[in-house]
Amino acid sequence: MSTYADKEDLTTDDVSLAAFNADGVSLKGNDSVNDEIIRKLGNPADVKCCPTGTLEFAAADEKKERYMEDCCDAVTATVQALSRKMSLHPPKFLILYGSLRKISYSRKVAIEVGRILGSYGAAVKVFDPTGLPLFSMDIDPSTDSKVSELRQLTSWCEGMVWISPEVHSNYSAVFKNQVDWMPLSTGAIRPTQGKTCAVMQVEAGSQSFNTVNNLRVLGRWMRMVVIPNQVSIPRVSSEFDDDNEDLPGAMKNSSLRNRLVDVTDELFKYTLLLRDQQPYLLQRYSETVARSKKHLEETTLVANDSILSQLSNPLLVIDLRSAKERNAKKGGEAVPGSVHVPLNVNNDPQSVHITTKEEFYSKLIDAGVDLASYKSFITHCTSGNVTYISRAARGAALLRDLGYQNAYNGGDAINICSVLSVSN
């Protein structure tokens, strides 16, 4: 049977698929000017082999010391990072609805969704917005029981369901007030970030999708993973058996309820798929760059004697000088017990090639350093405080990039020996 899409040439037949093979369409001979430009420009120097955070997360489960250096290609490493063990505890869902009416159909839908999720063994909490104060920065969240309850549930859950009646072609003020009370951050992390969300709306009259579309925008702003499916329930009063405000009736069997189950099922699956991967999926290149810049700013100057002398043991001093500099005792005699790990790669100075954290990690492993066995680190090169970013500063910053925050620039060997002899 011919359809509108067929008539408008929006579909294809099996014959036209003959150009495809298991790897897709053959593009030989069809290169565009843009393709040629991409080839000529080559790979960006600042983007490494894999998406941000991939090697660290892939190596965590592989337990291979050299994984960060030469593990594999980007696809394999990313799959490895995403294939971490999935936890089996019941998923935790928070359901929000946007009405204060005694007979609230968004509440009825919330309870129906809760029943479905509960049948799958999920832990479900339906928040009652009654008594939640109008959002104001003048109200201390810790002093209001409803605000505290909502914030605790926001942190507790792994996924959410948002249900609102459509009011003036948008979600209700009651619903938005609940989202306004969710903190934008706790520390440096937005508590909604990375959590799954399903969006739903109810209407008294004809069907529209304005509210669910706007809820999607709101969910994206809260950095949530809003699942692809959604449900809009028109003439919602006809979808329930009774108007009992104390014990809302179950939703009638209908195509709309089937759609509700579809969305709920999808939310359950997406939540199980993504909840353990959040630490990896939320890695951002821009934040990594900003964090590295901050670490370098923190380590540019040599740490004062008070800080260095009070570092926790076991302590490791890392000598970043070249072999020639170390033998010539440039910056002083080697610190007793220190490990020699030249920072430069292939003897190129940092002005020619800036050592990456992956390269530095590999150098440390080659030198036999077990980073996990130390609590503190002091790096040094040939000189103390300088006007440029020294290798000692860069080495300490790279250790912080790798997650070892108790790493400090010790300047040169003479300074470190002096400080450590005082502390001993």
Report which secondary-structure segment, H or E, holds 152. Answer: helix 145-156
Secondary structure, 3-state, 34-52: HHHHHHHHCCCCCCCCCCC
pLDDT digits (tens, 9 = 90+) for 267-315: 999 999 999 888 888 888 888 889 999 999 999 999 999 999 999 999 9
Burial (Cβ within 10 Å: 0-12, 13-18, ≥19) of residue 246? exposed
What pLDDT does residue 33 have?
81
Residue 114: the pLDDT is 93
pLDDT digits (tens, 9 = 90+) for 207-238: 889 999 999 999 999 999 999 999 999 999 88
> Can you tell me the distance from the alpha carbon of 224 to that of 220, in angstroms, rounded to the nearest whole number?
5
Residue ranges of alpha helices (H) inside 181-235 are 210-221
Can you list the pairs that 254-257 forms with residues at least 24 positions away whose Cβ atoms lie under 8 Å? 256/231, 257/112
Residue with the bigger pLDDT between 147 and 245: it is 147
- 92-281: what fold? Rossmann fold (3.40.50)
Residue with tokens 């009416």: 101
CA dist., res. 247 & res. 102, Å (int): 11
What angle, 0 to 180 degrees and rounded to 10, lies between the N-to-C axes of helices 391-401 and 285-299? Answer: 140
Distance, in Å, from the CA atom of 52 to the CA atom of 74, rounded to the nearest integer, reads 11
Amino acid at site 388: Y
| CA–CA separation, 93 and 263 (whole Å) | 14
Bridge partners (DSSP) listed for residue 161: 95, 198
Query: What's the confidence (pLDDT) of residue 189?
Result: 65
The string of pLDDT tens digits covering residues 99-118 is 999 889 999 999 999 999 99
pTM: 0.74
Q: How far is CA 57 from CA 53, 223, 320, 321, in A?
A: 6, 21, 27, 30
Structure confidence at residue 424 (pLDDT): 40
CA-CA distance, 61 to 81, in Å (whole number)? 8
pLDDT of 176 higher than 90:
yes
> What residue spans define the domains of the chain?
4-82, 92-281, 286-423
Q: Quickly name the fold that domain 286-423 has.
A: Oxidized Rhodanese; domain 1 (3.40.250)
Give pLDDT tens digits for 4-36.
666 666 666 555 555 555 555 554 555 678 777
Q: Return d(Cα 349, Cα 389) in angstroms, integer.
A: 12
Counts of helices then strands in the chain (DSSP H, E): 17, 13
CB 93 within 8 A of CB 123: yes
Q: DSSP code of 89?
A: S
Closest CA to 263 of 197, 308, 332: 197
